[in-house]
Chains A and B, each alone.
Chain A
Amino acid sequence: MQSASRKTLEESLPDNRASLAAAAIRLVLGALTAIMLLAVPSVAASQQSFVTRQTTYVVRFASAIDESDAPVLLRQPITLRLRNVTLERALQAIAARAGAPLSYSRAVVPLDRVVSIDVRQVSVLRAFYEVLNSVNVELWVSIDGHMALVPATAPPSEEATGTVAGRVTMAGSNEPLNDATVSVSGTRLRTATDNDGRYSIAGVPEGTRTIFVQRLGFGRDSATVVVRPNETVTADFALRPVAVSLSEVVTIGYGTQRRRDLTGAIASVTSDDIQRTPVVSVEQALQGRVAGVQVTGGSGQPGSSAAVRIRGGNSIAAGNDPLYVIDGVPVSASANNTNTYTLETVGVSGLNPLAALNPSDIESVEILKDASATAIYGARASNGVILITTKRGRSGANTVTVNAYHGTQAVRHRLSLLNAQQFAAYANAARVNGGQPALYTPAEIAALPNTNWQDEIFRSAPVTNVEASFSGGDNDTHYYVSGNLLRQDGIVLNTNMNRGSVRLNLDQDISSRFRVGNRFTLSRSQSQLMPNGGGGQEVSSVLLNALTAPPTLSVLGSGNEYFIGVNPATGRIFSNPVGAATLITNKEQQNRFVGNVFGEYDLFPKLTFRSSFGADYLSSMQDFYSPSTTYPGVTTGGSGSRGSLAVTTWLSENTLHYTPGQFGFLRAVDLLGGITLQRTNAANVSGTGQNFVTDALGQNGLNSAGTFIGVWTGAPHSSLASYFARANWNLLDRFLFTVTERVDGSSKFGTGNQYGFFPSAAIAWRMSDESFVRGLGLFDDLKLRASIGKTGNQDIGDYRALATLGSSTYLFNGVKVVGYSPNTLANPNLKWESTSQGNIGLDAALLRSRLLLTADVYNKTTRDLLLEVAVPATLGYSTQLQNIGSVRNRGVELSLNTVNTTGALGWTSGFNIAWNRNKVLSIGADSQIVGPVGVGAGAVQNPTILKVGQPINSFYGYVYSGMSNGQTTYADLNGDGVISTADQQIIGNAEPTYTGGFTNDLTFRNFDLSLFIQFSQGNKIYNITRALLTNDAGNNNQLTDVLPAQSAGANGIPVPKIGNTYDARPSTLFVEDGSYIRGKSLRLGYRLPASLLSSSRPGHLQNAEIYINATNFFTKTKYTGYDPEVSEYATSVLAQGIDFGTYPQTRQFIFGFTTAF
């Protein structure tokens, strides 16, 4: 009933607005200037006379009262002491304090009764209750603030029911709206309108009921009706098309706010958006949906991490991942924190921690972008904050949903590689050119097998997801329980991810002032990852091996085993990609609990104390085993390792929230203050062995390994202690102010620098509430926002401010000894990275809210960058972590939501686009750092650079100038006659010029169609894969581009003298345009007609939809690799946009259904 009253309040505003517009026009005609208009104290004061009476709130005094539902009018605090006065006198006193007229009748209220009252700082409602609690009356409150006492209606009897019926049309045109959902508050009754817009719901319990109606692309509406037994009451609705509802409640840090009241740049993705594209992990749901949020899939490996950048990368060494807060619990998304370095993976460092969360459990995701929005998270907010709110149950509507989908995934395309004959000719040519005998005789060539290794390792891979949820509750208890099972196979042989999760969200009202609840989720994920190089086991990437494996070798040897004999092209043991993919164990299991319990107590009607205790517990096990039947186990008699990690983070938060509403001349005052403590304790252990007696036990036989390589242990911990406060208020009903500050103390920094202060301030001007704007008749809403503030970043390892000792080993007479020595130089001055950000934004709703435009311009500068700075090595240390350097990001974001058609064919669109310019301003004494991270094949093909004046993620190398004598030649940029390191320059960067997305949602009768297009323009990809596949000296397979016949074409490298082309330097040859536009998702759904559903009877199907969905169904790009959405080092800050045998993205087709009972 509470929400019903509020809805009605809001939905009636337009009428006011129309009338006010008329008034404003009159004022304009009266030649008043806009400035003078500003000076008019309050237009609102005259509103009452324009408003029609409409009851919005009814309170019965017979039972206990619930103040939280009451309108602001009744929640005002009053202090009143009256002894032995008449009830009428008491009522008048209360009404006077409330500042609202009260109507009553002597026939209804015993006005002469003698009463006493002594209350201090209680609500108006409570005061009424004190004097009226034994009187059988109801207090009615109208929208314009009139109060009336009327005779109490009889309590509804269980059996007595009536019918509600009516028609839903479009406001203005009177066109009928079919398939609008109509529901009755406090019951599970719901139905959909027919083609004439009509509906009828029988069996509605008698009493005052609120009827809700909603339809895609239209604002919600509701009406209050009084249902009488065996009668039909009519409730007709005229819905207005709106692009985004301004009354929508948005989650902000430590609270919520209506969108119309926001002062910061906050974007939302709702459960509807998420469900329109089935995704496995939440960050995938953000891709292309929100202006300024760049999500790079990185890899198609199931369970892998994506790189999420909000308004560009701010940091060089301290991480660029946003802070994820799940139901108030900050969750580490940094894969490095959850890795025991046991797995053979590069880039995909184990499972993505966010993969633990079932996207279907998400109610909404809020992306906090500017400083005003993020500053409440202070020291961890520099990279933006992503707030994830999971679903909660609603009163009266016990609902069971069951959803499932099944689909298949495939690689987008395959690379064109040499076949066996071509490879043999190429290998021979290379050797002859090098003055050696040919590798294959013509007779041998004729008899060679021809293996297509890509076909051998790629497969079409199924994905299946099943989930169920149960939610509902009564007035005091709300529950949401869900479970999910996902199995996703990867498109590379023997890769997969399985996830099972359960969630329990409970909310309980202990009393009208005391509420408790919890959010718990428990998940288990398990993944077999593609062995992909790196680590100590020398497993090269299965994918790279498949690309470079000679097609002249067979998958299986003579004994039907995976062939691991000598590769004649290299003279070394053949690292069989199929054998490695099939036989090597490279898996991770994660158990994760994320949750909190909280209690809220209203100390006073407007002052709430909230205490919550949250925890994020992660336990991870990473296993590797290469048996002796495949490389590299074949050289070591089996290689195995197991790593185990447990990370426990606990969080205690206590807040006071004061919402006095009116406070002196300020309105909508909302004050928040709090304190939080957080600690993370981790412990890990991993062990490695070789020379196993048997492969049968795999890594479980570590204790019997013939060679014990070693064991590694660690137990880092860190703490945060923080205080924060926020004030929101409203001046003259037009100016909204927010001031936020947070003080964070972190154990990661030096004594004296542990505390950082992060303030922000914002102002918004609701211009649409100004008469001169209203007078234009153009804007339904117009708001100008400006904010400024500072946030921090502390995402570095623990103990980095301290000097610590490291161990090393040495051999004396074959005996290993251990040496301990300091390996880091203490930096007691170490402190926070800080990002200052200014933001100016505009929200505008036009065309009767059918078009909503949001535009933001920002400029942010990060200073005191945490950077490993080269110090004079004379010290005995080569680097020290210091606060040095700065990076700037500035950009523009635009998003547009429209309601295009509202007739039989409903069509809404959303479009967003963002430009971000990233620039390194300084990195200390150096002007550039070449190869700041180790990528690619070690020293060769590392194109990374950090250079002042250039974006992070720039590429650096030589400028290819052609071929000479079969050798690649490069431009002599400095003209000194020699090609040296001085001839390198910036040869591109991975930063896009702009990124964005375009969604279209259509409904026609029972069909829904969603089309989602996503694009990235101007980013470059450094294709190391291509380098390896074009510059070899006759030992590894190559792209067909190396064939002389192909070389004339634009794609080919010009006529090489095969066998003498090996040149590993990074150059423009391998920089490619990574721009793309892709059909990210296409979904077609069919909802079973309402007539087939017995919606009005409990326990029967209420809603059922079947759908098909295609993901990545088209891609337009010039990129020659597998997929332009590629970033081998997705978790790295400095090496984005690099393709190095990266597990490709997939195309996916699925079929699914969703149902609700």
Chain B
Amino acid sequence: MPDLHPAAARAGPLSAGGRGTYPRSLLEREPSLGLLLMLPGTLLLVIFMAYPFFLGLWLSLTDSMIGHAGRFVGLLNFVNLINDSIFRQTARNTFIYALVTVPFKLVLGLGLALVLNTRIPFRNAIRAGVLMPFIVPTALSSLGWLMLFDPIFSPFSWLLKHWGLITRNINFLGTPVLAIVSVMIANIWRGTPFFAITILAGLQAVPAELHDAAAIDGAGAWQRFWNVTVPIILGVMLVSTLFSIIMTFADFQLIYVLTKGGPANETHIFGTYAYQIGLSATAIGQGAAIALYMFPVLAALAILLLRYLRREVA
């Protein structure tokens, strides 16, 4: 990888040499300053995230119901879930949901980023415009999709019938496979802009000179793409992908509004099933277990991500 930012490659602690006579107050020493700077954010996270998280972890190890503290039951909830056919279906759905939508979002995001990286009129407005699916609150955009997928009033069905291509309305959210495909479409719609804008940022860092040099050397557009562009944006793509996987596994609002996990549990994912069991049925211990089921896997993914980030520092 060409070293484009030599200074950054040496990113690390600043040397404080040559100031031996300067008073070494707390704010000047690295260890104390470091901790001090971490303090506000960490405090917030500890109070409002760590503590509730451990409480939630505790809940998953009990048979608690809402308002009714339960007894410690160890991993019983997790074991019982394996025998729950609805949970198994939920797990399958979640994996399919994440592992299909993320590549689509990546590829479409990359394509869109490449297009936005060229000289087009109204660039700024278009860039802001394509961010819209990401900006609009999911609680509201999913209502829009609810209408678009309506079994009787969907404009898509109307149009296709108008053109004589189909005779019956499409039951977007009510037929087994089509239901999960429909929610995936909505998810891809919402997630592509995030990838596009993030990768676009990466593309903008590719200096034109590199492309020129490669072109002079006779490389075609495709070769230039693979050998010049991709290595540079690989980092960005990887990071966005991992973030997206984590977010998609934890998704809730979109599916909750569109199908609440139906029909017949065909679109249930961990988030919606945890809600159904933990809040509607008030079996909060089980709900917590469902929500945390993926934690080990996602934690592993996150640690991978962090290793990669720190490797680039060295």
The answer to whether A and B interact is: no
